[in-house]
Structure 1
Amino acid sequence: MSQLAEGARPERITTERLVLRKIVPEDVDAMVALHADPDAVRHRPEGLRGAEHSTRLFSAWLDHWNEFGFGYWALELVGTKELVGFGGLQMASDDWAGTYLNVFYRLFPEFWGRGYAPEMVVAAVEWGRRVYPHLPIFIITPTVNVSARRVAEKVGFIQVREAFFQGAVNCFFRSPG
């Protein structure tokens, strides 16, 4: 298990409008519902995969938290605790980039266009830079996902590559610094 410095565990981070909190097993139904929404996954090459696949994926998210002490958060509105989606950072690696922090964000469609994804990404990158300053941080998104690409650019990520990855041609955006 990767050990984080005392105080570096990101179980709860608050931004102006969001609470980024550690996922818990009770969040699985919301994650399954999100991944069952055809609009939410329309840019994923695998599309809708069913509850069993989403449950396994959620279990992998929990495993990442257990192994590394951080991972994808449940994203809630400050004050109301209404769940808007999931996002955060996970440790990843591949032959091209080596070890890096992968930024992920997926929101329920009714929360799109309100700036929540960029707000979460900024908080995640600030935490990642502080705790893992030696690791590059990437957003990898299918080239057809114009909205996700716009988020990456809005928060200052720079496109450094376009390549086939996880079943589709993807844009690789790297955080500067």
Structure 2
Amino acid sequence: MPEIVGPPRYLRHMTSNPEEIRTERLVLRRVGPGDLRAAIAVLSDPETSHHDQSGKPSAAETADLLARWRAHWVHEGVGYWAVVLPETGEVIGFGGLHHHELDGERTLNLSYRLRPRHRGRGYAPEMARAAVEWARRERPHRPVVIITDPGDKPSQRVAEKLGFAHVGAGVTAEGPVLVHRRQGVVAMTA
């Protein structure tokens, strides 16, 4: 039997502080007011909003969204992080968790957006894996789900890499969605 000497390689550098989580190649830090310029750049890029049925937000809408993300941390204890390359300090995207009611069940919905030039390098699964692991440890009573646009194949592949499977479809205010859940995870009541 192999000896377990610590967490898997991708989590060895992870911290449990929600202010900042370090993975092998990324720093996930809580969003702050200084992230507005990066948020506008990421969220207004047509490539990052391609699968968002609500479209790209204006600068004012992005500022409001950033304020809501910050408030979510204060009031709910979960939220979005700026995804940062530690060697350069560049914010390459945003991602994290927010409370979501799904068919009467309180869940945490995982979502993210990365700058197109940083896609295909494994950053999305690395960020998502860190967020899911943090939620599993810190919010074990809330199952994590991933809700995707039906045409968002890259996000669906990330969900599959993390052990999530398509379990249903639904309709939100923005339109149709697919719901993904981790296999073998049973929700616990709060």
Equivalent residue for 2:101, pick from 93, 96, 103: 93
TM-score by length of 1: 0.90
Partners in 2 of 1:59 and 1:175 — Cα distance?
30
Contact 1:89/1:102 (<8 A) preserved: yes
Superposed counterparts of 1:93-112, under 5 Å: 93-94=101-102, 96-112=103-119
Does structure 2 retain, via aligned residues, the 8 Å contact 1:74–1:87? yes
1:158 equivalenced with 2:165 (yes/no): yes
Question: In structure 1, what is the equivalent of residue 18 of structure 2?
Answer: 10
Residues matched between the structures, number: 170
Q: Deviations over 1:5-58 (max 9, x none)?
A: xx9641111111100111111101211121111111011112123111111111
Q: Greater RCO between the two (CA within 8 Å, min separation 6)?
A: 1
Instruction: Give the Cα separation in 1 of the matches to 2:99 and 2:19.
Output: 16
Q: CA deviation at 1:105?
A: 0.8
| Match of residue 30 from structure 2 | 22
Instruction: Give the aligned CA root-mean-square deviation in angstroms.
Output: 1.5
Q: Tell me the alpha carbon deviations over residues 84-107 of structure 1, each in whole angstroms, 9 at most, x when there is no partner.
A: 10011122224x152111101100
1:66 match: secondary structure = helix
Q: What is the TM-score when the length of structure 2 is the normalising length?
A: 0.84
Contact 2:169 2:177 in 1 (8 A): yes
Counterpart of 1:80? 88
Determine the structure 2 residue equivalent to 1:47: 55
In 2, the alpha carbon distance for the partners of 1:140 and 1:167 equals 12
User: Contact 1:85–1:106 at 8 Å: present in 2 too?
Assistant: yes
Unaligned runs of 5+ residues in structure 1 are 1-6
Structure 2 residue runs without a partner (length 5+): 1-14, 186-190
**Distance across 1 between alignment mates of 2:85 and 2:104:** 34
User: What pairs with 1:52-67 in structure 2 (closer than 5 Å)?
Assistant: 52-67=60-75
Task: Give me the whole-angstrom Cα distance separating, in 2, the residues matched to 1:15 and 1:111.
Answer: 16
How many percent identity over aligned positions? 42
- SS of structure 1 residue aligned to 2:46: coil
